[in-house]
Amino acid sequence: MSSPLPQASWLIPLVALAACSGARDTATGTTQQEVPAAVIDTDATLADIEPGRGVGLFVEYASGGHWRVYVTCDTLESELGCQWDVIVSSSSAITAVQTEGEGPEVWLEPLRDSAGKPYSALRFVSETTAALEGVRFATEAGTPIRVDVLLDGVAEGRYTYWVGGGAVHTGAPSSVIDLLPTAP
């Protein structure tokens, strides 16, 4: 299933995202034309997250267009931090941005795709250790988002978690995924 969201690439600055035609697979250098899509259950939350005990990027959606994207690392076990670099894009405006935690740096950019259609992209970067850090934001109710993630400079989907179809999804099929809410 494909979504109408614009494509993003990690190898160019955020401002230049609008000119991209595909998501870059940094491992092979190839361009992905089809981005995997999945449903995300509206008003479902992820529980039992222990900051510092596991690596994860967590995505939640609440009715009315309210999103939460947050990260943690396994620092209490590995004694290492995690460098997260996440781009979230939406075909509607991203608004009401609020950061969680002390470390994330956030940029929000209104952009246009190659056809001139407007969209928004939010990028947050965090050196996470034993805390939850992330961002909350709003889109038009029911609008899908695209999540594109790098962990320690590597395109990683296996640490992305969300609830869809009543089950917790433990890993995305790629580092880029479109998440479609089950209800506005």
Residue 18's pLDDT band (cuts 50, 70, 90): very low
Closest CA relative to residue 42, chosen from 147, 143, 159: 143
What is the model's pTM? 0.80
Write out pLDDT tens, residues 121-141.
999 999 999 999 999 999 999
Q: What is the DSSP string of 126-165?
A: EEESSS-EEEEEE-STT--EEEEEEETTEE--TTEEEEET
* Token pair of 174 as six digits: 């790629």
The whole-angstrom separation of Cα 49 and Cα 58 is 9
Of all residues in the chain, the percent with pLDDT exceeding 90 is 65
Domain ranges of the chain: 14-181
